[in-house]
Structure 1
Amino acid sequence: MDRYALRRQDYSLSADHTELRGAYAKFFKARCPIEVVRAAEASGFDKNLWEQLCATGATTMALPEAAGGDGASLVDLTLVAEELGRSLAPVPWIDHVCTARLLARLGALDPATEATADVVHGRAIVAFDARIGASSGGRLIGSGAIADHLVIRDGDEIVRLSFDTRPAKVDNLGRLPMAWVDPAAADRREVLATGPEAIAHYELAQDEWRLLTAAALVGLVEETARIAAEFAKTRYTMGVAISTLQGISHPLANIAVVVQGAGALVHRAAWFLDNEPGVQPGLAAAAFVYITEEAARAATMAVHVQGGLGVTTESAASAYLLRARGWPLAGGDPAAGAARVAELFAAAQG
């Protein structure tokens, strides 16, 4: 049997994976309650939480050993992303690690330099343009207001930009540190690579961003369902818990199915992207498209379960709804993701 034959069909988690997930679940539960999320909404970023997260090795794990990292797999990274999404953590971890991995593939991270160490350990935040097809002009970048360096595609070039004064944050539904970035206004511009191979590396980073964002949305959906279920168990109508009513219990059961299915798809996509990227090239984009639709639906359901309370700013459910709808938009028009799925699967069929 081919050494990958079984693993290609079995995307369950190992004991090490379960332990890793548990460690980050404990970390975010202790350090990122909803009060921390609310307090960071104005800026979209909690610097103290970011420094604590980096101290756990969450940024170094994402990079290959040749770049000074720990060489974790994409499956490992999806588990961290799930817990980040479950807590709505206001940190740019997904943007940073996807950009850092891109810089490593482009040969732009020299482990002997202090600048590289700053990126590896998260002291210097890097971000890139995750939107499909964006290759010229100004653009909205999800972590553009807090990043020390920005990586963009400009035609057939991959360029690193830096600003003496960071671009101003733009208000957005997902409460991200998003900014409108004009490449022409950058104080420093460095061409990192050019040509088809460089573009392929950039598109891989975009696929990784969609994969990890999909994982974060899986965690978000599972937590928003838990919030709704706990509320439903404590509210009664005509002497019965509303959780026993079909109009409540059936949608909550559907959300549980979504969590299991989307989680398995994310883990499968991560394994293929790591080990056989050319075999199932559309899986990461497919996972993103699927959970993007389902996350918004699940979060809306959680709000409805709580009735009028659900739409108040005091309700955690409202915070989950905003991010369920807003986080995917950092990657541009969600329809572009669906189009990419179609293109990749069509190309795979020859």
Structure 2
Amino acid sequence: MDRYELRRLDYTLSPDQIDLQSAYSKFFSTHSTIEVVRAAEPEGFDKNLWERLCATGATSMAVPESAGGDGASLVDLTLVAAEIGRSLAPVPWIDHACAVRLLARIGALAEDSAFTQDVVAGRQLVALDPHGDDVEGARLVPAGSVADHVVLRDGDDIVRLTAETRPARVNNIGHLPMAWVDPAGGEHRTVLASGPEAVAEYELALDEWRVLTAAALAGLVEKTMQIAAEFAKSRYTMGVPISTLQSISHPLANMAIVVESGRNLSRRAAWFLDNEPEERRELASAAFVYMADEAARSASGAVQVQGGLGVTTEAAATAYLVRARGWPLAGGDPAVSARRIAHIIGARVSAEGSQRAHLATPVTV
């Protein structure tokens, strides 16, 4: 067994990771209540919550030490993302973290620059366009209406746009601070890197976005399960809790399975991206596609458990449902990620087949 074999199969958290998870669970349960989430819906962003979050080191932890950050692993970041999903926190932390990690990898952060210090500390917010190369021209960027800078791919170039005036927010089902951004628009435009290596780094950033979004959706499903379970335990029919009925208990059990499998899959994908990025590249897309589908199904189930109450706009379950449907669409159609899985696996199978054929070819002396 090589030194990585155990970690490929073991998702147990270290004591430090458990403490990290607990700290952010307490933070978001205190500062991102459902009332805070509802109040932030018109803008899709709570500036006060963002500043509090940055003060905890959540933005600097995502950045490598070489660029002035704290050098947390991607698995560590999935723990924070899960708590963001659990609380529906109206802050674009995932987009900012992935964008700044990309900037660090392509050498766009200099430790002694004011820009680097501001983005690492979260004083300037950086948005990432999660569409990749499947969109040409203007595209909807999830944090575009609140970002100071937008990092996107324009052909073979990685570009940073800085707008003097932030674009107007576009209303959307996930209540995100989404806006139209055009790579060729009037913003200050800086080409940060070009060529195949730059494109590969951008693809890695998209995989990180998929993994962290999957982790957030797993946290979202866990909270919807808790909301539905508490409701089911307190409502009775024919003298018994409705939670004893198969039509209620079976969907709740399925939610628990989704939480565990989504959490483990996102952590596994994160570990491979950190340690063996070329070994199982399909895992990031697999985690995202799985949770994009299951989160919406689970949140719908939670609403159904609550019946007439669940479909009201005041119900917490409804807030989770609209985000379960909206967040995965921030990066475009999840089917694009599904096709990416097929492409990666198909290329691997083809390469393995060619290698076996080569080894089976007799050598003539």
Per the shorter chain, which TM-score range? over 0.9
* Paired position in structure 2 for 1:343: 343
Asked if residue 143 in structure 1 is aligned to residue 143 in structure 2, the reply is: yes
1:117 maps to a residue whose letter is Q
* Paired position in structure 1 for 2:292: 292
2:282 maps to a residue whose letter is G
* Paired position in structure 1 for 2:23: 23
Cα displacement (A) at 1:347: 2.2
Cα displacement (A) at 1:344: 1.5
Cα displacement (A) at 1:334: 0.9
Cα displacement (A) at 1:186: 2.9
Q: Contact 2:28–2:89 at 8 Å: present in 1 too?
A: yes
* Paired position in structure 2 for 1:206: 206
* Paired position in structure 2 for 1:224: 224
* Paired position in structure 2 for 1:60: 60
* Paired position in structure 2 for 1:119: 119
For 1:343 and 1:169, how far apart are their aligned partners in 2? 34
Secondary structure, counterpart of 1:8 in structure 2: helix
* Paired position in structure 1 for 2:240: 240
* Paired position in structure 2 for 1:100: 100
Cα displacement (A) at 1:272: 0.5
Asked if residue 70 in structure 1 is aligned to residue 74 in structure 2, the reply is: no
Q: Contact 1:132–1:336 at 8 Å: present in 2 too?
A: no
Higher Rg of the two aligned structures: 2
Secondary structure, counterpart of 1:2 in structure 2: coil
Cα displacement (A) at 1:187: 2.5
Identity of aligned residues (%): 67
* Paired position in structure 1 for 2:360: none
Secondary structure, counterpart of 1:311 in structure 2: coil
Cα displacement (A) at 1:323: 0.2
For 1:31 and 1:200, how far apart are their aligned partners in 2? 37
Tell me which moved more, 93-102 or 127-136.
127-136
1:99 maps to a residue whose letter is A
Could you list the per-position Cα deviations for residues 266-308 of structure 1 after superposition, in whole angstroms to 9, with x for gaps in the alignment? 1111110100011101101100000110000000000001111
For 1:187 and 1:247, how far apart are their aligned partners in 2? 54
Could you list the per-position Cα deviations for residues 37-56 of structure 1 after superposition, in whole angstroms to 9, with x for gaps in the alignment? 00000000000000000000
Could you list the per-position Cα deviations for residues 133-192 of structure 1 after superposition, in whole angstroms to 9, with x for gaps in the alignment? 335310000000000001111111111111111111000000000001122223211110
Tell me which moved more, 128-137 or 3-12.
128-137
For 1:24 and 1:183, how far apart are their aligned partners in 2? 35
Secondary structure, counterpart of 2:6 in structure 1: coil
Cα displacement (A) at 1:237: 1.1
Aligned residue pair count: 350
2:228 maps to a residue whose letter is A
* Paired position in structure 2 for 1:280: 280
For 1:233 and 1:254, how far apart are their aligned partners in 2? 17
1:234 maps to a residue whose letter is S
Q: Which runs of 5+ in 2 are unaligned?
A: 352-365
Could you list the per-position Cα deviations for residues 62-108 of structure 1 after superposition, in whole angstroms to 9, with x for gaps in the alignment? 01001000000000000000001000000010000000000001100
For 2:217 and 2:5, how far apart are their aligned partners in 1? 29
For 1:285 and 1:40, how far apart are their aligned partners in 2? 30
For 2:91 and 2:186, how far apart are their aligned partners in 1? 24
Q: TM-score, normalised to structure 1's length?
A: 0.98
For 1:148 and 1:334, how far apart are their aligned partners in 2? 27
1:190 maps to a residue whose letter is T
2:18 maps to a residue whose letter is T
Could you list the per-position Cα deviations for residues 185-225 of structure 1 after superposition, in whole angstroms to 9, with x for gaps in the alignment? 23211110110000000010000000000000000000000
2:187 maps to a residue whose letter is D
Secondary structure, counterpart of 2:189 in structure 1: strand
For 1:126 and 1:302, how far apart are their aligned partners in 2? 34
For 2:116 and 2:37, how far apart are their aligned partners in 1? 29
For 1:185 and 1:287, how far apart are their aligned partners in 2? 34
